[in-house]
Amino acid sequence: MDYKLTSFSEEDTKELAENIESEKFPNMVICLDGELGSGKTVFVKGFAAALGIDENITSPTFNLIKEYNSGEMPLFHMDMYRLTDPNNVEITDYFNKQGVTIIEWPEMIEDYLPAERLDIKIKVVNENKRVLILKPYGEKYEKLCDSVL
């Protein structure tokens, strides 16, 4: 089952991220799909703030992966936009490091994604309005969506 939510501001998107963070669990994987400027990194900023991470969150476009360890749980923020060869990066190792992995541009590593995860598609409606479609894969993620939406 898909869940649909409308965000009217960056604050709405961050609030969704905070609500999802409140249901976090080790090895959680969230995949964010949306065009440039749709709010993927805004979501990650909200999630990181709720985790207690006080570092400046930026998209790891050129790093591919940024690790944040100053919160309640490690956060692994991936941006696969510029990834040329997934075999050169130990992506799947992050899915078992007892933290939360949030992936921007997950379609670049589709064959490496875990079967159980939460996919969030962000569709731009206008300058401020976004439609977020959440698709949970697996019982834990279905329960998570039922809890926060």
**Every domain of the chain and the residues it spans:** 3-148
Report pLDDT for 88.
63
Give the three-state DSSP class for 59. coil
Structure tokens at 97: 């490091």
Report pLDDT for 64.
87
Class of domain 3-148: alpha beta
Contact 57, 45 (CB under 8 A): yes
For the entire predicted model, the pTM comes to: 0.95
Residue 31 and residue 12: Cα distance in Å, rounded? 18
Structure tokens at 6: 């409308």
pLDDT in tens, 103-132: 999 998 999 999 999 999 999 999 999 999
State the first-to-last Cα distance of the chain, in angstroms, to the nearest integer.
13
Assess whether pLDDT exceeds 80 at residue 61.
Answer: no
